[in-house]
Chains A and B, each alone.
Chain A
Amino acid sequence: MKRNGIGALSSRVARAACVLALLLPVLAFASDRVPKPVIDIDKPGKCVEDTATMRREHPDLLRHQRDLTMHEGVRTRKYSLKQCVACHASTRTGSVLGEKGFCQSCHTYASVSIDCFRCHSSRPKPSSGAKP
């Protein structure tokens, strides 16, 4: 059966509308209408775990490692806060804090306070021998 011209046109318009509706949230996110954190990432690429895991689980990984280090003297570098700082400190400011700093930019955006750096140094050890 052959469709008439008007029917074909209307179905095409409807399909386009559907696609546009589906794309809308994506387009909105891609545009500048939703503010996102501006992060200085000097070393893009893989962290000690993949990005999704690190985003979700970095507090748990750090907390687990912190207890091991503090109480049992385990000083592996993989999940140590010191190693985070050594890798992620901005080459511009030398720190993970600051407006675009690796830690602070996201934490400010998500409105989650970071207490780590009230005691821990936010800067890597100058000319450290990369020892944990």
Chain B
Amino acid sequence: MSADRNEGFSRRGFLAISAATLGGVMLAPGIRLIEIARARAPDQPVSGKVRWGLLIDTNKCAPGCDDCVKACATENGLKDTGHPRTDAQWIRKVELKDMRTGRNNSVPVMCQHCEHPPCVDVCPTGASFKRADGIVLVDRHICIGCRYCIMACPYKARTIVFENITDQNPDVPRGSGCAESCTLCVHRVDRDQQPACVEACTRAGHNAMIFGDLNDPHSEIAQRVAKYASTQIRADLKLNPGVRYQGL
């Protein structure tokens, strides 16, 4: 038994070493045959080694700015149906004021992509699920629109679609009768792009949002989280959200 384990271990070690060597073959300075930290190929399933996360620096997030909200709506095809109370809302800006000091905080709040998501716990059909890389999604093929997840989410991140939708973005299928929330732009992440909100924030020069792999010690987000104090909203619930805030 122990011999088997040793063999398995050494083989795994050998594979890791050979992969690293193969990936590290330099064609020219700075150009590698295969990037070591390259994202997976389209036919590779997502890996649990990655944990996608967002770091939002509230000191850089200006009150009244809604660039991220607009970019989200454009990317995901969230349209104004004339019913603001029930319109889908994947990110919302929350304005906070400390009454003692008078300090204003403006915070974008979206699905926090918890490690232990309550929406997944309560879903009766298994439609609400967490992908191996930490992105919490709704499988609309299975969702029956019961709204348990909407009630369970402490961040009020989920909404249900009330009206029939046409002209969706082909990357973002949406339809009436299903619960939905921020997908961390999973269709963009899967092709090595940043979520639309992060891209818009960076493009506008605010740089208040950073997206990346929390498990990769070389990623900017992991280094920032290791160096500076950041908080999770309602950390007392011990859900370990993937979205963290600086300066709250």
A residues with a Cβ closer than 8 A to B are 66, 68, 70-77, 82, 85, 118-121, 123-125, 128, 131-132
Contacts and interface: CB of A to CB of B under 8 A. Distances in A.
A119 B174 contact: yes
Contact of A73 (B133, B167, B176): B133
Nearest to A124: B170
B168 A119 contact: yes
B169 A125 contact: yes
Interface in B40-56: 40, 42-46
B45 A72 contact: yes
B45 A121 contact: no
B42 A75 contact: yes
Contacts of B43: 74, 76
A4 B191 CA distance: 83
Given A71-B131, A119-B168, A121-B173, 20 more contacts: A68-B45, A70-B137, A70-B141, A71-B129, A73-B190, A74-B44, A74-B45, A75-B190, A76-B43, A77-B42, A82-B170, A82-B171, A118-B164, A119-B174, A119-B178, A120-B173, A121-B170, A125-B169, A128-B170, A131-B191
B46 A125 contact: no
Contact of B42 (A70, A82, A120, A132): A132
A71 B139 contact: yes
B170 A73 contact: no
A72 B168 contact: no
B170 A125 contact: yes
Nearest to B40: A73
A74 B133 CA distance: 13
Contacts of A74: 42-45
A75 to B, nearest CB: 5
A70 to B, nearest CB: 5
B78 interface: no
14 contacts: A66-B141, A72-B131, A73-B190, A74-B43, A74-B45, A75-B42, A75-B191, A119-B174, A119-B178, A120-B168, A121-B168, A121-B170, A121-B173, A125-B170
